[in-house]
Structure 1
Amino acid sequence: MPKETSAIQVRAPYTKPITAKDFESSDDTSIWWLSSAGFLINSRGTLLMIDPVIAMQAGSDEICEIGHRLLVPLPILAADVPRLDAILYTHMDDDHLAPVTAADLIKTGGLYGGPAIVVRELERLGVPSRQARAFRIGERFRVGPIEITLTRADHAWPSQHPYGPEDCCGFFISTPDGNIWCTGDTRLLDEHMQMSEVDVLLLDVSDDPYHFGVENAVKLANRLEHADIITHHYGTYHGPELPPFNGDPNKLAPQIARSENRYHILAPGERFVLTNKERLLLRPVSE
């Protein structure tokens, strides 16, 4: 049976716009939450997006391209992204791989990457085959100074054709300033608890049986006791009856060791900077 959810959804903190300046070369590695499960990473001028869903339904300023009303605005639209070196997808659920965004980002010149099933879908959506590459779990590849390794995910939710073991993934991203782990949508696996040298954990806090769920999200966060944590997969789409869209990062905070120093509930478009492995959260100063 589906888990019951609250009739009142938790909203993400109000959005801060991502601007053209955020795509410029820099001396550090920065991370922005795009809302939902999406992220932008700028590592010394090398630009990655993970699972971006950043386009609106034609003619609407409230309904996103996948048909859900937004609880908070998007920090940037795909059509306004000036350049990318890679666009990475963990799997092909539409709240991770959305068709308008995927098509709009072709012009950035970035390499599209992910599991084989994802790449086939991207090519069906019009991404040129020369601009897309499939990877297997455990495979490593480089984008500029960044090394990326696909990690295993178990997201075999009961659709008509459940995802297989090579159809979903996470990304372990090694930058000059530290290591970022995006787990993807997944239940907790034994090998997740063996991960190490994670400087920033992008933590799914949705309360869904085919994701970590609160108890296992806390367990992983406390196993990676030295990692900064950025919460996601909540507070974006209206859908109080849909567990994947629901979660409350504030409920996890009291259970996470040293949460006051490393647990970050960012707004979409808010910048987190990892510089020389020093963890620094930059928040705009009120004028």
Structure 2
Amino acid sequence: MFRRPDWLASLFNRAPYVAQPAARHHGPAGYRNLNPFRLPSLGSLLHWKLAQWWRPRPDHRPEMVPLTSGDPAALRANHLRSSVTWLGHASSFVQLAGQNVLIDPALSPRVSPFRHLGPRRQVPLPIDLPDLPRIDLVLLTHLHYDHLDFPTLKRLARQQGGAPDFVVPLGVARAVRAAGVPAERIVELDWWHAVQRGALRVLLTPAHHWSNRGPWGDLNKALWGGYLLEGAGLKIWYPGDTGYQAELFHEIGRHIGPVDLALLPIGAYEPRKVMRAQHVNPDEAVRIFRHVAARKAWAVHWGTFILTDEPIQQPMAELAMALREQGVSPDDFMLPAIGETIWL
């Protein structure tokens, strides 16, 4: 049942938390959000999980999720054009400014510390690592299993020619090193700090979320966030896992907008009582689209793993409704197929 117990590795390789009093998001015992945040109580979580036993099961229909095998040969041959390929859930492959970049690659059959337990992939992986060009850079947004996938990171650490560079929020490097990535290949960033890789600039932006890896002791000891990628005259932004805070995204929009392409999460949002603080729903994703003055957006973070109560196909219908209600064209906020590539 068990594969390598990476949550135990996280416990024993956890970076010590060192607060910077001048930074508002550095609390006395861990990182914190810029806006009021409270995780659901243990009672509400237990009620949610127990209620799943007696309520009708959601009518998940993975066959309704758009899927394509993509064009990995074109990606391997490409050395000039900018592109983004959605690999499912939060995982995207980006070619920008001469760099091959993976964002939150979770390419395993499950996103879990266990081999045979935990959320299972509901649709085939469209393009795997051997089909992609050699990866130059990996961006990880936080420690949660559906974003930091140990088996995928271990494969990347062993890629031909050596491990790629990794950019991670503060406190995440220890977990990445436990996956076999050399320390010299990892850069940790605080919010609003950036790193340059060739002609590509990567900026860590704030998010309204939280962090842990093990079952206790590491709550919010590592930071979370999103990434702005700038290069070749383009801005591509992924906010990471986040709850909706109008003030936060208005502020982010003032700093980074307008962006050319936003990869906006639309899934894993029900029940709202539990998920509101940490995951946006499609209506809120469209609001974020407007806050950052995105020219185009792709809907991501849905259709791949069953993490919450909404049927796996439901975000499609709710996004279409939100676009109508907010007067945004579906040609501007697009619903890609898993495996699809947009050439920029």
Give the TM-score band, short-chain normalised: 0.7 to 0.9
CA contact (8 A) 2:306 2:312 kept: yes
Q: Are 2:140 and 1:103 equivalent residues in the alignment?
A: no
State the secondary structure of the residue aligned to 2:171: helix
In the aligned structure 1, how far is the partner of 2:289 from the partner of 2:298? Answer: 10
Tell me which moved more, 152-161 or 201-210. 152-161
CA contact (8 A) 1:205 1:231 kept: yes
Q: Which structure dedicates a bigger proportion of its chain to strand? A: 1
In the aligned structure 2, how far is the partner of 1:86 from the partner of 1:65? Answer: 30
Q: Which structure dedicates a bigger proportion of its chain to helix? A: 2
State the secondary structure of the residue aligned to 1:193: helix
In the aligned structure 1, how far is the partner of 2:148 from the partner of 2:225? Answer: 13
Structure 1 residues 78 and 36: CA distance shift in structure 2, 3 A: same
Q: What is aligned with 1:147?
A: 201
Shift of 1:16: 1.9
Q: Are 2:61 and 1:14 equivalent residues in the alignment?
A: no
Gaps of at least 5 residues in structure 2 are 1-43, 270-274
CA contact (8 A) 1:71 1:238 kept: yes
Structure 1 residues 198 and 163: CA distance shift in structure 2, 3 A: farther
Which runs of structure 2 are paired with 1:48-67 in the superposition (5 Å)?
A: 48-56=101-109, 67=118
Structure 1 residues 129 and 202: CA distance shift in structure 2, 3 A: same
Rg comparison, structure with higher value:
2
Tell me which moved more, 159-168 or 215-224. 159-168
Q: Are 2:337 and 1:267 equivalent residues in the alignment?
A: yes
In the aligned structure 1, how far is the partner of 2:334 from the partner of 2:167? Answer: 28
In the aligned structure 2, how far is the partner of 1:244 from the partner of 1:233? Answer: 14
State the secondary structure of the residue aligned to 1:101: helix
Q: What is aligned with 1:200?
A: 261
Structure 1 residues 273 and 220: CA distance shift in structure 2, 3 A: same
State the secondary structure of the residue aligned to 2:330: helix
CA contact (8 A) 2:266 2:300 kept: yes
Shift of 1:264: 1.3
Give me the CA root mean square deviation.
2.9
TM-score of the two chains, using structure 2 as the length reference? 0.69
Q: What is aligned with 1:223?
A: 291
Q: Deviations over 1:223-256 (max 9, x none)?
A: 34542110111110245x5569775133122332
Q: What is aligned with 1:24?
A: 77
Q: Deviations over 1:119-154 (max 9, x none)?
A: 110001211111111111111111222111100012
Q: Are 2:229 and 1:173 equivalent residues in the alignment?
A: yes
Q: In percent, how many aligned pairs have the same letter?
A: 24
CA contact (8 A) 2:172 2:222 kept: no
State the secondary structure of the residue aligned to 2:248: helix
Count of matched residue positions in the alignment of Structure 1 and Structure 2: 268
In the aligned structure 1, how far is the partner of 2:311 from the partner of 2:136? Answer: 29
Gaps of at least 5 residues in structure 1 are 58-62, 275-287
